[in-house]
Amino acid sequence: MAQLLLRGTVLGDVDAVLFDKDGTLSVSEPQLTTLAAARVLLCLDAVEPALRPRLRDLLERAYGISAAAGAIHPAGITAVASRDHNLVATATALVQVGLGWPEALAISEAAFAQADQADARGASATTEGLLPWLQQLHAAGITCAVISNDDNAGIQHFLASHGLERFFAGFWSAEQRPRKPDPAAVHGLCGQLGVAVGRCALIGDANSDLRMAVAAGIPHQLSLGYTAAWTTPPPLAEPHPLVHGWSELSLA
């Protein structure tokens, strides 16, 4: 057991810390921007030229792509939602330009498969200062785990690519049920870890993470919003404590 402090202020006692992955453990924006752009282009190639301008607009809005900034909206579906939710949104955009659902779904599935092959599961960088913070948690005997809408392979690949497996006792992915942001996902992960929900902190970069944490029974002051991984800071709800860098956190 240890006390978690943010900028020197005690937040509460913790036995475990649950981390979101994309936008919290990892700087995923460059990779997600490339992936979303590839999905857009592959979908455009699959439809008639006359449909492409409207389809591009619909897809870029859905994905949260800011063409001017070359960035992804941190609260958009590319940043927050699971792969299959992104696929359904893509098929819905294709239906809006006049395609039938079976054709729209087939085009979306093909585009996502091709984009995945091009992406080749490259590992995104870790957020600045992450390793010292994980080392501090490990030295204090605090259990760490990942709760993410990435799949098992994506989580394992990220941790292995950066030599972080030894710091994490488990994870809960999009392949587990229920998936986040269902509060039962927190209960499932805590049960797997053997820790009490009320003695956990959760750190994520989306309001859905923070709402899930509180609904699951994690104290409000231990449901922390992480802001440092995006070009545009995510619009996180107050008054959740906000972490602007891992060096702001400490243990006592």
Q: Tens place of pLDDT for every residue, the chain, 252 residues?
A: 799 999 999 999 999 999 999 999 999 888 888 889 999 999 999 999 999 999 999 999 999 887 655 678 888 888 888 888 999 999 999 999 999 999 999 999 999 999 888 665 566 899 999 999 999 999 999 999 999 988 898 899 999 999 999 999 999 998 999 989 999 999 999 999 999 999 999 999 999 999 999 999 999 999 999 999 998 888 887 788 999 999 999 999
Instruction: Note the pTM of the prediction, 2 decimals.
Output: 0.84
Residues 224/68, Cβ–Cβ less than 8 Å:
no
Asked whether the bond before 30 is cis by omega within 30 degrees of 0, the reply is no
Give dist(CA 38, CA 40) in Å, integer. Answer: 5
Distance CA 39, CA 111 (A): 6
Q: Rounded CA gap, 130 and 27, in Å?
A: 11
| Residue range 2-27+125-251, CATH number | 3.40.50.1000
Query: How many residues are present in the chain?
Result: 252
Tokens describing residue 27: 């700087």
Task: Work out whether the CA dihedral 11, 15, 18, 23 comes out positive or negative.
Answer: positive
**Alpha carbons 38 and 146: distance in angstroms, whole number:** 27
Where exactly does CATH 3.40.50.1000 map onto the chain?
2-27+125-251
Which residue matches tokens 């970069």? 205
Side-chain-side CA neighbours of residue 232 (13 Å) = 15
